């Protein structure tokens, strides 16, 4: 799911600064790759791509935008953190219902989706080594836009792993406001 522009700019501002100053043991997410993952499918058979697109279109036509708030940066897990992410919050359970519907679709298409409950977050960095306490504190004190934001674009991505980080190729985008395909993208 795409991050709204104001929130993306706020996160990107920190990432651009931190990635220049703190490189040791941290793989930073590029600002253009910031997104909220609702379901990670894993290896997908090419023969299933059209079925996924059709199912996503049907699901998004029955779904409204999600209103969420950035709570700030968080280290996860709290002991020996491996990720720095932006924690999101919502009072609306619709985003969780949507994620469960995606899991059902995955099972119907004979995939084994991750059964863990959805944690609303936007990954900012992967921590490869323990970071100093002062730097972890800097991350936690960073201020992000707090207003509720409308998350209204669902993107079906192909993730290609590369040595310098993943490349995300959008295969199809769905606009939850108009209930239509936003961009007819092809592989």
- pLDDT tens digits along 61-84: 999 999 999 999 999 998 999 999
Residue-level pLDDT, tens digit, the chain, 187 residues: 999 999 999 999 999 999 999 989 999 999 999 999 999 988 888 899 999 999 999 999 999 999 999 999 999 998 999 999 999 999 989 999 999 999 999 999 999 988 888 999 999 999 999 999 999 999 999 999 999 999 999 999 988 888 777 888 899 999 999 888 876 555 4
DSSP 2: B
- pLDDT tens digits along 141-162: 999 999 999 999 999 998 888 8
- Cβ-in-10-Å burial (0-12, 13-18, 19+) of 156 comes to buried
Rounded Cα distance, 61 and 15, in Å: 34
């Amino acid at each position: 799911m795409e991050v709204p522009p104001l929130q993306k700019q706020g996160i990107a501002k920190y990432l651009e600064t931190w990635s220049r100053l703190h490189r040791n043991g941290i793989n930073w997410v590029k600002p253009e790759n910031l997104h909220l993952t609702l379901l990670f499918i894993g290896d997908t058979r090419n023969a299933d791509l059209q079925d996924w697109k059709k199912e996503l279109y049907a699901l998004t036509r029955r779904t409204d935008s999600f209103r969420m708030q950035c709570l700030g940066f968080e280290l996860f897990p709290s002991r020996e953190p491996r990720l720095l992410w932006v924690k999101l919050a919502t009072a609306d359970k619709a985003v969780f219902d949507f994620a469960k519907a995606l899991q059902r679709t995955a099972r119907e298409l004979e995939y084994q989706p991750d059964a863990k409950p959805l944690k609303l977050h936007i990954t900012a960095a992967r921590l490869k080594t323990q970071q100093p306490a002062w730097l972890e504190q800097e991350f936690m004190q960073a201020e992000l836009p707090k207003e509720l934001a409308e998350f209204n674009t669902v993107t079906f991505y192909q993730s290609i792993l590369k040595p310098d980080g993943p490349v995300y190729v959008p295969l199809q985008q769905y606009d939850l406001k108009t209930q239509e395909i936003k961009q007819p993208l092809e592989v």
